[in-house]
């Protein structure tokens, strides 16, 4: 692990201007203060310093946003807009995101801590691609005719938008996951209230500016910043919200499920994970080791699909352990805006850093062996929330570090002896979001893919996504599938019409 700090990339003038004054809520195409005028601080995790002040939305603000969204859905320009015109708006927004990806990269790096390049070359372009993919859908959302009616009847179906959708996004991929939700919701003709994570509101607010520039009508896209227990809870409880899409922790999802009971809201939930990365001895071990390290340590381990449990067939165990450790130790850790181009940024907050450190201490207390990392970085990085890649071995399946989602750069590398054994272990957590299998035997790859209880299984790769490929979880990793054609089902409802001649 190589800690790096300065020099820092200069801020673009528009970003400096963006941070100079408190950021407001976007309601009905107007930037407005919170009803009570309050703001909250968002912090740069690389320094621990206040980055910006943001409007603290509460129930009254959510209600304003929902009313604006309802009016737009029921009778505004959006309700009258053709599907082809919706397509053009989505494509225009995609072009704006790509053109301004440098601004998003700086805002996201400052607010979230992730390296500038990972947003400029990754998150921002992927976000634009999501809008482009769903820009193709409005003119292709079709019903069917059903040849079951008695003589004199014509039966057909219509696929219609749900109405007002509440979209609640996390802090680990703020822009990208907002795009995952916004693009299909808008393609289907819904109106939305977006509530970004309080830790990372800035890229969502700038996305709101681009929605205005693209020409979305009033009330279609509303953004309410604030805390989950205030703005988020008000959105999930609101009786005029038809659907909530949430990405975040399983614990918070339980409160959303309870809150949705008031008006039986539609829900889609993409939740936690504890993903197994299974490496058989006949795999390309060097490549598997590098990808496994990227799978767990990418985004500083703050990913729902992080390869937190690396299982290696015993004959290859020492080689893979050495390979993953070597890859971890080569990763550069530092501020995301550093001109020296770090591989990993800080953990999102001091609270989350303390949580991750608690799991490290738990692992040591339970008898796990620490191979590398495990200590907060000091020196020039002492002001931020930096933790190097951390690897444990000698771990039991019942330990907290094997069963619970840590959401930090902490991996376990553990040997196994048989396919039956590893399937049992891999499926032995409450989660089922993703998994990976590395093998040179294509038959084994297919058998493992069928046996693993996970919404996504990668074979001889890790972390591959595409707007056209569905993504979601089994078990306590949630329900519903984002991306691809299945997301259209999340944001529409089906109506059957019987017509008598």
Count of domains in the chain? 2
Catalytic residue among 230, 237, 270, 482: 270
- Residue 54 domain-assigned? yes
Over the chain, what is the mean pLDDT?
96
- Residue 19 domain-assigned? no
Number of Cβ within a 10 Å radius of residue 436? 31
Say yes or no: 289 and 383 in one domain: yes
pLDDT tens per residue across span 414-428: 999 999 999 999 999
Say yes or no: 290 and 378 in one domain: yes
Instruction: Quote the CA–CA distance of 59 and 72 in Å, as a whole number.
Output: 20
Say yes or no: 293 and 172 in one domain: no
Say yes or no: 239 and 371 in one domain: no
Confidence of residue 7 (pLDDT cuts 50, 70, 90): low
pLDDT tens per residue across span 460-492: 999 999 999 999 999 999 999 999 999 999 999
Q: Assess whether 270 carries a catalytic annotation.
A: yes
Say yes or no: 361 and 386 in one domain: yes
- Residue 213 domain-assigned? yes
**What CATH number does residue 305 fall under?**
3.40.309.10
Say yes or no: 309 and 456 in one domain: yes
Say yes or no: 127 and 57 in one domain: yes
The boundaries of the domain holding residue 58 are 24-271+478-498
- Torsion over CA: 275, 169, 124, 115 (sign): negative
Q: Assess whether 188 carries a catalytic annotation.
A: no
pLDDT tens per residue across span 251-284: 999 999 999 999 999 999 999 999 999 999 999 9
pLDDT over 60 (residue 384): yes
0.85 exceeded by the pTM? Answer: yes
Say yes or no: 215 and 354 in one domain: no
Catalytic residue among 304, 313, 405, 482: 304
Instruction: Quote the CA–CA distance of 286 and 438 in Å, as a whole number.
Output: 11
Residue 3's pLDDT is what?
A: 54
- Residue 10 domain-assigned? no
Mean pLDDT across the stretch 368-375?
97
Q: Are 385 and 346 in contact (CB under 8 A)?
A: yes
- Residue 18 domain-assigned? no
pLDDT tens per residue across span 296-319: 999 999 999 999 999 999 999 999
- Residue 82 domain-assigned? yes
Q: Are 123 and 175 in contact (CB under 8 A)?
A: yes
């Amino acid at each position: 692990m190589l800690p790096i700090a300065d020099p820092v990339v200069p801020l673009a003038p528009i970003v400096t201007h963006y941070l100079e004054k408190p950021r407001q809520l976007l309601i009905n195409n107007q930037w407005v203060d919170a009803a009570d005028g309050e703001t909250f601080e968002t912090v740069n995790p690389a320094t621990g310093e206040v980055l910006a002040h943001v409007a603290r939305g509460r129930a009254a603000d959510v209600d304003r946003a929902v009313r604006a969204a309802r009016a737009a859905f029921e009778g505004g320009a959006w309700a009258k807009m053709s599907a082809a015109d919706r397509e053009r708006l989505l494509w225009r927004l995609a072009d704006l995101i790509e053109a301004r990806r440098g601004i998003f990269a700086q805002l996201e790096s400052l607010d979230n801590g992730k390296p500038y390049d990972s947003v400029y070359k990754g998150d921002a372009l992927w976000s634009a691609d999501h809008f482009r993919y769903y820009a193709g859908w409005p003119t292709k959302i079709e019903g069917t005719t059903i040849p079951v009616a008695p003589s004199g009847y014509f039966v057909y179906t219509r696929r219609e938008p749900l109405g007002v959708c509440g979209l609640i996004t996390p802090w680990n991929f703020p822009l990208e996951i907002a795009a995952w939700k916004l693009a299909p919701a808008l393609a289907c003709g819904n109106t939305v209230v977006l509530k970004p994570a309080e830790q990372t509101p800035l890229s969502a607010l700038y996305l709101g500016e681009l929605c205005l520039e693209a020409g979305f009508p009033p009330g279609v896209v509303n953004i309410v910043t604030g805390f989950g227990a205030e703005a988020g809870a008000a959105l999930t409880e609101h009786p005029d919200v038809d659907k909530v899409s949430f990405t975040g922790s399983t614990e918070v999802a339980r409160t959303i499920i309870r809150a949705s009971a008031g008006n039986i809201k539609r829900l889609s939930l993409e939740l936690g994970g504890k993903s197994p990365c299974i490496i058989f001895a006949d795999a390309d071990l060097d490549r598997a080791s590098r990808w496994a390290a990227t799978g767990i340590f990418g985004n500083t381990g703050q990913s729902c699909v992080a390869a937190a449990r690396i299982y290696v067939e015993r004959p290859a165990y020492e080689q893979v352990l050495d390979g993953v450790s070597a890859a971890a130790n080569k990763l550069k850790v530092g501020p995301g805006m550093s001109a020296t181009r770090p591989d990993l940024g800080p953990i999102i907050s001091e609270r989350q850093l303390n949580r991750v450190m608690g799991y490290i201490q738990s692992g040591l207390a339970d008898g796990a062996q620490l191979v590398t990392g495990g200590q907060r970085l000091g020196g020039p990085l002492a002001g931020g929330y930096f933790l190097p890649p951390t690897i444990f071995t000698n771990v039991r399946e019942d330990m907290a570090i094997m069963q619970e989602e840590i959401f930090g750069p902490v991996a376990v590398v553990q040997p196994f002896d048989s396919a039956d054994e590893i399937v049992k272990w891999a499926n032995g957590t409450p989660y089922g979001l993703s998994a990976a299998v590395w093998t040179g035997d294509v038959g084994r790859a297919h058998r493992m893919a069928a046996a693993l209880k996970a919404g996504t299984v990668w074979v001889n790769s890790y972390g591959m996504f595409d707007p056209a490929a569905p993504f979601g979880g089994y078990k306590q990793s949630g329900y519903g599938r984002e991306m691809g054609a299945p997301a259209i089902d999340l944001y529409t409802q089906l109506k059957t019409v019987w017509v008598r001649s």
